[in-house]
Structures are given as structure tokens and as C-alpha cells.
Amino acid sequence: MVEQLMERIGDTYRVVVVLIGIGVASVAGCAADSPKPASTITQDQVKSNADRSFERLKQEEKNRTAGSGPAPY
């Protein structure tokens, strides 16, 4: 009887160890995915975007002062 109980505990132990191993392997596999590289933006692109944004801002300011009335909500 004790031998049968020890055998069952041993089988359960093996199953638990296998399940833990599968879990660790799946987590490690997901963590090993290489991250996607970030898009590289050149300094010229940054300058061009900043210039366009600044021009839009100046245009908005010009339009706002041309109305010179209270801003509509």
C-alpha cells in the first residue's frame, strides 16, 4: 500500500515537473522574440517636419490676428 502511494506521488511529481518545464519553455520562447526595429528618421526629415509645423503655426496665428475678434468656441 505504501509502495503504491509512493508510486502515485512519483507519477504526480513527474507530471508537475513536465508541466512546469512546458510553461517555462513557452514563456522563454515568447520572450526570445526579437523586437521590431524602430523606424529611423534622418535629421533632414526632422527639420522638414519642424519647418512645416512652424509654417502652419504662423499661418494659424496670422488667421487669428486677422479676425481680431473673440475666438469662437
Quick check: 71 and 64 in contact, CB under 8 A?
Answer: yes
For the chain, how far is it from start to end, CA to CA, in angstroms? Answer: 85
- Torsion over CA: 69, 70, 71, 73 (sign): negative
Q: What pTM, to 2 d.p., does this model score? A: 0.39
**What is the C-alpha separation between 3 and 71, in angstroms, rounded?**
88
Task: State yes or no: pLDDT of 1 exceeds 80.
Answer: no
> Between residues 69 and 44, which one has the greater pLDDT?
44
Q: What's the mean pLDDT in 9-14?
A: 75
pLDDT, position 54: 96
- Distance from C-alpha of 50 to C-alpha of 44, rounded to nearest angstrom: 10
Q: Is the pLDDT of residue 22 over 80?
A: yes
